[in-house]
Amino acid sequence: MKFLGNVIATVIGIFVFIMLFFFGVILIGAIFGGDDTVSVESDSVIELNLKNIQNDYAGKFKDPWVTKFSSGGEIGLTDVINAIEAAKKDDNIKGISILNDESSLGLAQYKDLRNALESFKKSGKFVWAYANSYSQKEYYLNSVANTVYLNPAGDLDFKGLSSEIMFFKDFQDKSGIHMEVIRHGKYKSAVEPFLENKMSDANREQMTALLNSLWATVSSDISKSRNIPLPKLNEIANGLLARTPEMAKAQKLVDIVAYEDVYHNAIKKALKVTGDDDYNKISIQDYTQNFTTTALTNTANDQIAIIYAQGEIAGGEGDVTVIGEGSMRRSLQEARKNDDVKAIVLRIDSPGGSALTSDLIWREIEVTKKVKPVVVSMGNYAASGGYYIACNANKIFAESNTITGSIGVFGVLPNFTPLANKLGINTEQVETHENAASYSPFVPVDEKFKAFTLEGVEYIYKTFVTHVAEGRKMTFAQVDAIAQGRVWTGSQALKIGLVDKIGGLNDAIAEAAKIAKIKTYSTQNFPEYEKNFSDLLSGFPFAKSKEAFIKEEIGEENYLMIEQIKRYQNKKGVQAMMPFGIKIQ
C-alpha cells in the first residue's frame, strides 16, 4: 500500500509540475510578450478570412489580467467592419482578398459585412475572392467581389434555403424520458419537437414564409452584385445548374476557374509586382489589431455607448456568449449615469432565454430611456426574449435577414416517471398541505400543478405582449395577432411594425446621434465582464474534452439530439425562447 501511495503521489506531483510550468510559460509570455502590432506595408492587400471571428463583440473584462489571458488579441466583427471602413482611406491598402473563407457568422452579420465591402469597392479599390469550394452562405458573402475565382476541382453550393428540425416524441415514448410542455402561442415551435413526431401546419407555414423571406434578401443581393436577374437565379437554384466549376462559370456565378497560384499571380499583375517577388499581404486580424491600436484617439467629449447582448439570456453575470442580468444591468446603469454618454445603442444577437431576466433587462432599459435615448440594432437574431429586451427602445433597426419576433413563452418540465416505472422504481410523496410538494420528475404531473403553471405562462405572455404594445405604440390585440410565438425576418417585421428601419449597427449609431442631437462623438463598448481566473480556466480546451469525446464516439447528429434534451432539462422558470433548432442550410 505504501508503494502504491508513493506512485500516486509521484503522478500527482508530475501533473502539478506540468500545470505550473504550463501556466508559468503563459504568464511570462503575457508579461514580456512585447508589442504584437504588425506594420502595414505599402501596396498591401488585406486577406479576409473570418474563421476565428464568431461574435460582433469580442468582449473585455474589468480585471486587466483576465483580459490579458483570455482575449489573446481576439477581435469582433464590429472591429473588422470598422477596420474595412478605415482601409478605404488607407493609402497602403490597395484591395481585399476573400481567401478560402470559412466562417460561422450568420446571414445578418454577412449582410452587414457585405455592405462594408460594397462601400470599400466604391473607394476605387478592388475586392477579389477565391475558394476551393463555396458553401451557399460563403458564396453569399464572396459574390460581392469584383472578381470571383473557383478551384477547378471544387464546387459551388447554390440550391436555395432549407431547414431541418428533429422531433423527439417517439424517442420519449421509447425511452420513458418525457418532457412536460406548458406553452402559449400556436407558433411556439421551440417545444413542438417534444409534442409531435412531425411538423405542425402552423410551424410549416411560418418556416416556409421565413425561408422565402431570407432567400429574397440573399438572392436580391447576389443578383445586384453579379448582375443576374432574379428569375435566372431561381432557375439556377432549382436545377442545380452551378454544381460544377464550369457550370458555375457558364451561369456567371463565378468569373474564373483556376488554381490558387493563378489567383495570386493575377493580384501581383494588378499591383504591378514583377519577377518572383510576392505581393504584400496582411490578415484581417492583424490589420484590425493595427487599426485599433494605432488609430487616432477620438477627442470628442460626447459618447455613444454600444452595449452588446449576445447569446442566450440567463441569470448571473453572463459573458461574450451569454446575456447575463449582472453585466447587462450594470452596463445600462453605467452608461445612464455617465454624463458624457449622450445615447445608447443596444446590439442584440439572441434567440431569447429566461423570461425573468428578459423582464429585468427590459425594466433597466425603461428606466434608462427616460434619461437618454436607446436605439436597438438587431443582428442575426433578436427573437422571443431577444425581442423582449428590444421592444421598448426609442428606435429599432434590423437587417432584412434578421430573425426576430417569436413573441411567446413556454415552460418545460422533464419527467422520468415512465422510465422509473420500467426500472421498477416507484416514488410517493407526503405533504402537510394540498400543494406543499414541489415538482418532482419522478411523479406524474398533477393536473392542478399544470394548471397553476399554465396560469404563470399566460401571465408572462400577457406581460410580454403588453410591453410590446406599449413600446411599439400598438394595441394588445394588434400585437397578439402577430405574436403567438411566430418568427419573422427583419423585412417582414418592418411591414408589421415590430421594427422601425432596415439597417446595420452603424445606421443605428447614426440614428442615436441624431436623436441625441450630437454631431461629433466617440463610441464606448460594453459590457465589461466581471470574471476571475477560476471562470477563465473553465474555458480551457481540457475542460471541454468530455463533449469532444462524446461527439467523436456517438456522432454529431446523435450528440445534438442529446444536447437539446439536456438544455431543456437545465432551463429553470418560464422561457421566452425562439425555436433554437432552426438551422438554415
Residue 36, in any domain of the structure: no
Distance of alpha carbon 320 from alpha carbon 285, whole angstroms: 18
Residues 312 and 260 in one domain: no
Q: Which residues 6+ apart lie within 8 Å of 34 measured at CB?
A: none
DSSP character string of 99-144: ES------HHHHHHHHHHHHHHHHTT-EEEEEES-B-HHHHHHHTT
List, in sequence order, every residue forming a beta bridge with 283; answer none if it has no partner: 47
User: Which of 34-43, 336-345, 404-413, 549-558 holds the top average pLDDT?
Assistant: 336-345
Distance of alpha carbon 494 from alpha carbon 384, whole angstroms: 16
Residues 341 and 391 in one domain: yes
CA angle 208, 560, 240 (to 5 degrees): 45
Residues 342 and 372 in one domain: yes
Residue environment code for 487-505, b if the CB has 16+ CB neighbours within 10 A, otherwise e: bbbbbbbbebebbbebbbb
Residue 231, in any domain of the structure: no
* Mean pLDDT in residue range 312-339: 95
- Of 97, 358, 384, 406, the catalytic one is 384
Residues 461 and 394 in one domain: yes
Listed in sequence order, the DSSP H helices in 497-575 are: 505-516, 533-537, 545-554, 556-570
The count of other CB atoms within 10 Å of the CB of residue 95 is 22
What percent of the chain has pLDDT above 90?
Answer: 59
Q: What is the pLDDT of residue 534?
A: 54
Residue range(s) defining the domain that contains residue 264: 44-158+240-294
Residues 268 and 346 in one domain: no
* Mean pLDDT in residue range 42-69: 83
Residues 274 and 309 in one domain: no
In the predicted structure, residue 160 carries a pLDDT above the cut 60: yes
Q: Tell me, what DSSP letter sits at residue 194? A: G
User: Residue 39: what residue type?
Assistant: S
* Mean pLDDT in residue range 400-427: 87
Is the Cα dihedral 103, 204, 490, 460 positive or negative? negative
Residue 541, in any domain of the structure: no
281 is catalytic: no
Which of 266, 294, 322 terminates a domain? The answer is 294
Residue 4, in any domain of the structure: no
- Of 111, 137, 188, 531, the catalytic one is 188
Residue 244, in any domain of the structure: yes
The count of other CB atoms within 10 Å of the CB of residue 113 is 23
In the predicted structure, residue 184 carries a pLDDT above the cut 60: yes
Distance of alpha carbon 104 from alpha carbon 334, whole angstroms: 32
Q: What is the pLDDT of residue 108?
A: 95
Distance of CA 8 to the CA centre of its chain: 45
In the predicted structure, residue 543 carries a pLDDT above the cut 50: no
In the predicted structure, residue 66 carries a pLDDT above the cut 80: no
β-pairing verdict for 403-405 and 522-526: unpaired
Distance of alpha carbon 490 from alpha carbon 223, whole angstroms: 20
Q: What is the pLDDT of residue 192?
A: 82
Can you list the pairs that 249-252 forms with residues at least 24 positions away whose Cβ atoms lie under 8 Å?
249/150, 252/226, 252/227, 252/228
Distance of alpha carbon 85 from alpha carbon 102, whole angstroms: 22
Residues 471 and 557 in one domain: yes
Q: Which of 298, 291, 333 is nearest to 524 (CA)?
A: 298
Cell output for 225:
452584385
pLDDT classification of 419: cutoffs 50, 70, 90: confident
337 is catalytic: no
Q: Which residues 6+ apart lie within 8 Å of 481 measured at CB?
A: none
Residues 284 and 423 in one domain: no
β-pairing verdict for 322-324 and 341-350: unpaired
In the predicted structure, residue 182 carries a pLDDT above the cut 90: no
Residue 64, in any domain of the structure: yes
Q: What is the pLDDT of residue 485?
A: 85
In the predicted structure, residue 252 carries a pLDDT above the cut 60: yes
Which of 294, 325, 340 terminates a domain? The answer is 294
pTM above 0.85, yes or no: no
Residues 257 and 325 in one domain: no
Q: What is the CATH number of the domain that holds 59?
A: 3.90.226.10
Residue 490, in any domain of the structure: yes
Q: Which helix (H) or strand (E) holds 361?
A: helix 355-368
Q: What is the pLDDT of residue 30?
A: 47
CB 151 within 8 A of CB 248: no
Residues 59 and 87 in one domain: yes
Residue 33, in any domain of the structure: no
Q: How many domains does the chain have?
A: 2
Q: What is the pLDDT of residues 368-387, one digit of tens each?
A: 999 999 999 999 999 999 99
Q: Which of 141, 38, 137, 136 is nearest to 83 (CA)?
A: 38
Residues 572 and 480 in one domain: yes
Cell output for 239:
436545377
Residues 252 and 380 in one domain: no
User: Residue 125: what residue type?
Assistant: K
Is the Cα dihedral 208, 214, 218, 221 positive or negative? positive
β-pairing verdict for 303-310 and 341-350: parallel
pLDDT classification of 4: cutoffs 50, 70, 90: low
Cell output for 144:
460581392
> Cell match 406543499: residue?
436
Distance of alpha carbon 177 from alpha carbon 418, whole angstroms: 7
Q: What is the pLDDT of residue 186?
A: 61
CB 57 within 8 A of CB 525: yes
Cell output for 532:
476571475
Among the ranges given (224-233, 490-499, 525-534, 576-585), the one the predictor scored with the smallest mean pLDDT: 576-585
Which of 294, 322, 338 terminates a domain? The answer is 294
CB 229 within 8 A of CB 176: no
